[in-house]
Chain A
Amino acid sequence: MLVLDGVSYRYPGYARQVLLDIDLTLGDGEIVGLVGPNEAGKSTLCLVLSGLAPASVGGVLAGTVTIDGETTAGLKSYELACLIGLVFQNPNTQRSGVTATVFEEVALGPVNLGLPVAETVERTRWAMAALRIEELAERDPARLSGGQAQLVAIASILAMRPRHLVLDEPTAQLDPEGTRLVAEALRDLASTGTALLIAEHKTDVLARICQRVVAIDAGRIVLDAPAAEGFADSRLPAIGVEAPAVVRIGAALGELGVAMPEIAP
Chain B
Amino acid sequence: MSGRSAWWRADVVLKPDEAAGPETAPARLSEADTAYLASLAPAAISRYQRLNPLTKATLATVTTLGAFVLGGYLGPLLLLVGIVLPGAIAAHLLRRVVRVAVLFSLPISISVALVSVFTRAGSTVLFNLGPFDATLEGVDFAAQIIVRLFTIAMALALFGLTTEPRAFVVDLERRGLSPRVAFAAAATLETIPLMVERALAIQAAQRARGLDTEGSLSARVRGVLPLVAPVILSSLTEVEERSLALEVRSFGRPGRRDLLWTLPDTGRERALRWLLVAALVVALVAPLAGVMPRLP
Q: Are chains A and B touching in the complex at the 8 Å CB cutoff?
A: yes
A interface vs B, CB < 8 Å? 50, 52, 56-57, 70, 75-79, 81-83, 85-86, 88, 90, 93-94, 96-98, 100-101, 103-104, 107-109, 111-123, 126, 142, 153, 156-157, 160-163, 192-194
Cα distance, A126 to B241, chains bound together (Å): 27
If the complex has contacts A161-B16, A163-B17, are A114 and B258 also in contact, measured as CB distance less than 8 A?
A: yes
Majority SS at the chain B contact face: loop
Determine how close the nearest CB of chain B comes to the CB of A105; give it in whole angstroms.
Answer: 10
Determine how close the nearest CB of chain A comes to the CB of B171; give it in whole angstroms.
Answer: 14
Cα distance, A114 to B253, chains bound together (Å): 9
Cα distance, A117 to B241, chains bound together (Å): 28
Point out the residue from A79, A103, A142 that lies within 8 Å of B2, measured CB to CB: A79
Cα distance, A48 to B253, chains bound together (Å): 20
A81 with B166: CB separation less than 8 A: no
Point out the residue from A77, A85, A116 that lies within 8 Å of B252, measured CB to CB: A77
* Chain A residues in 8 Å Cβ range of B37: 117, 121
Point out the residue from A70, A83, A112, A126 that lies within 8 Å of B251, measured CB to CB: A112
Cα distance, A111 to B29, chains bound together (Å): 15
B249 with A157: CB separation less than 8 A: yes
A96 with B246: CB separation less than 8 A: yes
B260 with A111: CB separation less than 8 A: yes
* Chain B residues in 8 Å Cβ range of A126: 21-22
* Chain A residues in 8 Å Cβ range of B26: 118-119
If the complex has contacts A101-B40, A112-B179, A114-B258, are A78 and B16 also in contact, measured as CB distance less than 8 A?
A: no
A100 with B166: CB separation less than 8 A: yes
From 222 to 272 in chain B, residues with beta carbon under 8 angstroms from any chain A beta carbon are 238, 241-253, 255-260
* Chain A residues in 8 Å Cβ range of B6: none
Determine how close the nearest CB of chain A comes to the CB of B44; give it in whole angstroms.
Answer: 15
Cα distance, A101 to B1, chains bound together (Å): 32
* Chain B residues in 8 Å Cβ range of A97: 186-187, 190-191
A114 with B166: CB separation less than 8 A: no
A98 with B260: CB separation less than 8 A: no
* Chain A residues in 8 Å Cβ range of B260: 104, 107, 111, 117, 120-121
B1 with A75: CB separation less than 8 A: yes
Q: How many interface residues does chain B have, given as a range?
A: 35 or more
Cα distance, A70 to B2, chains bound together (Å): 13
For A119, the closest partner residue in chain B by CB is B27
For B252, the closest partner residue in chain A by CB is A78
Determine how close the nearest CB of chain B comes to the CB of A106; give it in whole angstroms.
Answer: 10
B248 with A157: CB separation less than 8 A: yes
Point out the residue from B179, B247, B250 that lies within 8 Å of A52, measured CB to CB: B247
Point out the residue from B22, B40, B242, B257 that lies within 8 Å of A112, measured CB to CB: B257
A121 with B33: CB separation less than 8 A: yes
B250 with A81: CB separation less than 8 A: yes
B13 with A109: CB separation less than 8 A: no
Is there a chain A Cβ closer than 8 Å to B11's Cβ?
yes
Cα distance, A150 to B166, chains bound together (Å): 24
For B185, the closest partner residue in chain A by CB is A98
A82 with B14: CB separation less than 8 A: yes
For B243, the closest partner residue in chain A by CB is A56
Q: Mark B19-42, 1 if CB is under 8 A from A, else 0.
A: 011101011110001000100100
* Chain B residues in 8 Å Cβ range of A93: 238, 241-242, 245
* Chain B residues in 8 Å Cβ range of A112: 179, 249-251, 253, 257
If the complex has contacts A100-B166, A113-B14, A120-B260, are A85 and B248 also in contact, measured as CB distance less than 8 A?
A: yes
Cα distance, A94 to B251, chains bound together (Å): 13
